[in-house]
Amino acid sequence: MSFFSFGQSAEIDVVLNDAETRKKVEHKTEDGKKDKYFLFYDGETVSGKVNVTLKNPGKRLEHHGIKIEFVGQIELYYDRGNHHEFVSLVKDLARPGEITQSQTFDFEFTHVEKPYESYTGQNVKLRYFLRATVIRRLNDITKEMDIVVHTLSTYPELNSSIKMEVGIEDCLHIEFEYNKSKYHLKDVIVGKIYFLLVRIKIKHMEIDIIKRETTGTGPSVYHENDTIAKYEIMDGAPVRGESIPIRLFLAGYDLTPTMRDINKKFSVRYYLNLVLIDEEERRYFKQQEITLWRKGDVVRKSMSHQAAIASQRFEGSAASEMNAPKCISDIPHLMNAFLTLF
Amino acid sequence: MKSDRILTLLEGQGDMAETIADTRRLYTKPQNLNDAYGPPSNFLEIDVSNPETVGVGRGRYTTYEVRLKTNLPIFKLKESSVRRRYSDFEWLRAELERESKVVVPPLPGKALFRQLPFRGDDGIFDDSFIEERRQGLEQFLNKVAGHPLAQNERCLHMFLQDESVDKNYTPSKIRQA
């Protein structure tokens, strides 16, 4: 860039006003690495400062305008040329002219709509970023700053369990049940598999979480399946009448909320795949879609309140809401309850 | 009433109460003891054993005993024993490939080279070769007979339980009542 050693060049950078207090989250980049970015929610204001620092103090910088943009866009990897912008805001910071010394410009994008969650996938990327530009005749000076957006949902009003009887006629009949159809990202899948008929020799059973990313429309639709988790729930041969419990903690896996037809460009859906494997390595499976959603962070209540809830839920415990202990260490048997759950 | 007030307090904290997920097991029906400790419904044992060479001279061939023990209702006989030769296994494999959608496992080798003259050993009547083949045939049958789709084929049942294999049979599917 210092080709034009006679002319002036500058560095441009963007700093958020709430950089000290705003939370940062990890987000996967296209090459699989994880980086930290500022976290924003829908409706939040994005404000900060653009610093233009002259490389050669004393020389003036001529420009055709300085601006900052807030962009939300979808990028399909097989169609890199076309970025689909669904949010595009611009603020002019300076009219065409010249700068004689390093300068700072304030900006504010008030209550910006951020309808979708940031997503980096196999064939598609949805990102939000600020882009500050010093427009010049031959080459612009530009700087991009990515941010991450999370979309939050509230507890679904209707969250029915999934219960189904499936099988192969006269060989294998099972009834599977998952306690919910909609799970938040830190939720637990609680379920059971009940064996009605077992005429094959089952060796073990597992439950897989499969993520399916769908891009494209009409004739050219791409599906990318990715097995996020494989969790063995049974080792050995079951017989009729046996129930196998499922308890799968989602917090340990790299999951995103379910995304349906985002801006008519892509979808990300999740499936539970129940797989039974017999002694000859034959696989019998049943796939079931679940909805994943992101819950807002809840401020934790006092530990004693949490202990009361935990003790209530521990099987066989006689503790009731009325007799909530003041402190965990007061009551030894509740201590055990806590250790079992965590 | 005091208890009413306590209930109201909990209602307001609905969201808070969900902070710890309820991970208690779902309700399960207690298992019938006969089911738990009785014989399993998937009993199926197939043995390939007792190789015997029959015939004389160039017309000699080896037969194997195919013994089956089961409690699966799809098999007409709960115990059976038949004698089969290698070409019968080849016939079964070809039938299954054509009639069913099963990916049929391979048979142990045909060993044509062993049938050439001037060998130092007993060719296809060599003890170690017969034992190797016996094992392969046993593996093949166990893999196939346990397959839910293969179990619907008439040819499999004829092979395993009929006195002899009728190569002019009419292929069909077994239907259970």
pLDDT digits (tens, 9 = 90+) for A252-290: 999 999 999 999 999 999 999 999 999 999 999 999 999
ipTM reported for the complex, 2 dp: 0.83
| Integer angstrom CA distances of residue A208 from A111, A204, A232, B131 | 40, 13, 9, 41
A86-95, B11-20, B53-62, B107-116: which range is least confident on average? B11-20
Do the domains at A10-149 and A162-293 have one common CATH topology?
yes
Between strands A259-262 and A162-168, the pairing is unpaired
User: What integer pLDDT is reported at residue A188 of this predicted model?
Assistant: 96
**Ordered strands of the B61-70 beta sheet:** B44-54, B61-70, B79-85
Contacts of A280 in chain B (CB under 8 A): 142-143, 146-147
Query: Within 13 Å, how many C-alpha atoms sit on residue B71's CB side?
Result: 9
In terms of CA atoms, which chain A residue is nearest residue B40? A239
pLDDT of A339 over the 90 cut: no
Residue B19's pLDDT band (cuts 50, 70, 90) = low
* Distance (Å, whole) CA A314 – CA A318: 9
* Distance (Å, whole) CA A143 – CA A69: 10
Token pair listed for B108 = 């142990």
CATH of A162-293, one of 3.40.50.300, 1.10.3720.10, 2.60.40.640, 2.30.33.40: 2.60.40.640
Alpha helices by DSSP H, listed for A128-274, are none
| Integer angstrom CA distances of residue A71 from A64, A76, A134, A261, A323 | 21, 16, 17, 20, 54
Listing DSSP states for A168-202 in one string gives ETTTEEEEEEES-SEEETT-EEEEEEEEEEE-S-E
- What number does CATH give the domain A10-149? 2.60.40.640
Q: Are A28 and A37 a contacting pair, CB within 8 Å?
A: no
In terms of CA atoms, which chain A residue is nearest residue B72? A199
C-beta neighbour count of B66 within 10 angstroms: 24
Contacts of A281 in chain B (CB under 8 A): none
- Treating both helix axes as pointing N-terminal to C-terminal, what angle do A332-341 and A303-313 enclose, rounded to 10 degrees? 80
Q: At which residue do the structure tokens 């509230």 appear?
A: A154
A interface test, pick of B4, B11, B24, B27 with most A CB neighbours within 10 Å: B24
Residue A243 vs residue A312, higher pLDDT? A243
Q: Are A16 and A39 a contacting pair, CB within 8 Å?
A: no
Query: Given an 8 Å threshold on Cβ–Cβ distance, is B22 in contact with A242?
Result: no
Looking at residue B153, the DSSP 8-state letter turns out to be: B
Query: Within 13 Å, how many C-alpha atoms sit on residue A44's CB side?
Result: 18
Query: Given an 8 Å threshold on Cβ–Cβ distance, is B17 in contact with A309?
Result: yes
Residues facing A46 on adjacent strands: A109
User: What integer pLDDT is reported at residue A305 of this predicted model?
Assistant: 66
B interface test, pick of A280, A283, A304, A317 with most B CB neighbours within 10 Å: A280
Contacts of B153 in chain A (CB under 8 A): none
Query: Within 13 Å, how many C-alpha atoms sit on residue A140's CB side?
Result: 14
Contacts of A315 in chain B (CB under 8 A): 24-25
Domain ranges of chain A: 10-149, 162-293
pLDDT of B96 over the 70 cut: yes
Q: Does A283 touch chain B (CB under 8 A)?
A: no
Residues facing A106 on adjacent strands: A49
C-beta neighbour count of B113 within 10 angstroms: 10
Instruction: Enter the pTM of the model.
Output: 0.83
In terms of CA atoms, which chain A residue is nearest residue B146? A200
Alpha helices by DSSP H, listed for chain A, are 303-313, 332-341
> Which of A171, A186, A164, A99 is CA-nearest to residue A135?
A99
pLDDT of B11 over the 60 cut: no
pLDDT tens by residue, B141-152: 999 999 999 999
